[in-house]
Amino acid sequence: MLALPGKAALIGCGVIGAGWAARFLLSGIDVTLHDPDPEAPRRLDLLLERAERAWRRLTLAPVRLHGSFRFAANIEEAVADADWVQESVPEREDLKRATLAAIDAAAPPEAILASSTSGLLPSRLQEGLARPGRFLVAHPFNPVYLLPLVELLGGRRTDPAVLERAERILSALGMHPLRLHHEIDGFLADRLMEALWREALHLVNDDIATAEQIDRAIIYGPGLRWAIKGTFQVFRLGGGEAGMRHFLAQFGPALELPWSKLRAPELTPDLLEKIVAQSDAQAGGRSVRELEELRDDCLVSVLLALKQHGHGAGAELAAFEERLYALSHRRSLREEDDLDRPLRLHETRVQPEWVDYNGHMTESRYLQLFGDATDALLRYIGVDRAYVDAGYSYYTVETHIMHLREVASGEPLYLTTRLLAVDDKRVHLFHEMFRSRDELRLATAEQMLLHVDTRAGRACPAREDIAGRLRRIGEAHARLPPPDLAGRRVGEPRARRSA
C-alpha cells in the first residue's frame, strides 16, 4: 500500500516549490507554504492554473487540485502539523542549512524533511540538525508536476527506514524515485546534463554552432530516443544483433579522439552576451509563459505516447492516473448508504477547452462526462484496478444521449445515476446531468453495460460481491418512479418537457 502524507509543508515557492505544490495538491494532499516574497501567491496561482491545464490534456480522469493550500506567515506556522516538509529555497548552503535548522526545530518529530537541492551533499546539509535521521534529498526536475524523476538520497546520518518511506510516498505521488546510494556533488542527472552543457558552451564559444543549432541537434535526434531508452540502451541497439560488445569494439576507439572538451570555457562577458542574444533570437519573441505552455503540451504528447506502450515515464503516468480516478471516485458502497434516490457520484466543472466556437460544451464531452459517471458507479461497487487486472470489466455496449440544454464554459455540474435493470451480466442504467447552481437538467444518457471476461473476449457473470452490490442498488432504485426520458427511441416526441 502506498501511504501518502496527510499534510505537506513547502518552504520556498519559486518554480520548484510551486511545482511541488501542484504535485501534492493533485494527489489530494493539503499544503501549507511559506515564502517571504509577496509575489509568491500570485506566481503559485499561475503555476497551478498551468498544471491543471496540462493534466487535463494528460488524462481523462477528472482532474482538479483535490488538496487545499494556504500561505503561512513563518516557517514555524507552516510546518507545525506537516507529515512531509519540502525545502526549496535558493541553492546556497548557508541559507539551506539555516532554513533546515528552523524547520527541524518546529516540525513534528515524525515528519520527513526533504531538500530540493540540485547538488549539495545531504551529509553537509544535515549537520547541526537535532534529528538528522529524518533528513534526505528529494531532487525533482522542472516542471515537477509533469516530469516524474526525483533523485532520492540520504546523508551519513539518514535513517534507511526514512528513505524507504519516502520512496513509497514519492511513488504514490506519481513520481519515479531514483534511489542513489552514494553521495556525489551534483548527483546523477545534473552531472550528465552538465557534461552536455559544457560541450555546448565550447561549441558556441568557438563559433562552431549557435544555440539554436545545438538544440535542434538534440530535439530532432537523440532527445527523441532518450524519452524511450537511456544512453546505454541506445548504444546497445547501435551495436546491432551483437549488442553492446560489438558497439564498444566498433566505436570504443573513438573515445581516444579529442572530440569533446569537458572542461568548461570561461564564461566571459563576450560569451555571456553571445549566449543571451542567441537565446533571445531562438525564443522568437514568445513570452516565458508561452514557452512554458508549449513545453507542457509537448511533454503531455510524449507522455501519452509512452503510456500507450506502458513504457518508461508512461508507466508511471498510468499508475498515477489510477490514483486520480480513485481520488475523484473515492466513495464505495456502505451498509448505511441511502439508496432510495439516484446516486450522486460525480461532480465537475466545464473546462475552457471543452467548448466549441459557439461557447458551448462539445458533444464529445457529454459522452466523456457520462462515461466518468459510469466509472464512478463501477468504483462505487468495487470494480477497481485489481478487478480489471484479474481480467474482468464492464463494457458499454449501447448509449443514448439526449442534449436538453446548452452548457457554457465554467459551469459547475453534477451527474446522478440510477439502475433500471440488473442481472448477472448486464446493467441497464440512466444518467442525468444537472447544473449545480440551479439544478437545471442539461442532458441524460441511457446505457447498457455488459460484464466481460477480457482475456476470453466474451461476456460472463460478474463476481458475486460485485453482482450483490448491484442487486442491492437495483432493488432500491426499482421503487423509484420511472425516469421520464428513459426508454425513448431517437426522434420520439418527449412525453413531458425536461425539468
Contact predicate 345/383, CB 8 Å: no
pLDDT value at 385 more than 60 = yes
The set of long-range contacts for 242-249, using a CB threshold of 8 Å and a minimum separation of 24, is none
* CATH entry 3.10.129.10 includes domain 334-477: yes
Cβ atoms within 10 Å, residue 139? 25
Q: Say which CATH superfamily domain 203-285 falls into.
A: N-(1-d-carboxylethyl)-l-norvaline Dehydrogenase; domain 2 (1.10.1040.10)
Q: Which of 190, 187, 111 is nearest to 152 (CA)?
A: 187
Residue 121 clears pLDDT 60, i.e. is over it: yes
Task: List, in order, residues 6 or more apart from 345 with CB less than 8 Å away.
Answer: 329, 331, 373, 376, 377, 380, 415, 417
pLDDT at 257 over 80: no
Quick one: DSSP state of residue 143? S
Helix (H, G, I), strand (E, B) or coil at 422: strand
CB 467 within 8 A of CB 474: no
Give dist(CA 302, CA 224) in Å, integer: 9
Same topology, domains 203-285 and 334-477? Answer is no
Q: Is the preceding peptide bond at 122 cis, omega within 30 degrees of 0?
A: no
**Cα–Cα dist 195/202, whole Å:** 11
pLDDT digits 0-9 by tens, 73-115: 999 999 999 999 999 999 999 999 999 999 999 999 999 999 9
Q: Which three cell numbers stand for residue 427?
A: 446493467
- The topology under which CATH files domain 7-187 is Rossmann fold (3.40.50)
**Mean confidence (pLDDT) of the chain:** 89
Confidence (pLDDT) at 305: 87
More confident call, 139 vs 60: 139
Look up cell 560569451; give the residue: 271
Read off the amino acid at residue 349: R
Confidence of residue 15 (pLDDT cuts 50, 70, 90): very high
Does the pLDDT at position 222 exceed 60? yes
* Residue 259, pLDDT score: 73
Q: What is the pLDDT of residues 400-431, one digit of tens each?
A: 999 999 999 889 999 999 999 999 999 999 99
Structural domain spans, the chain: 7-187, 203-285, 334-477
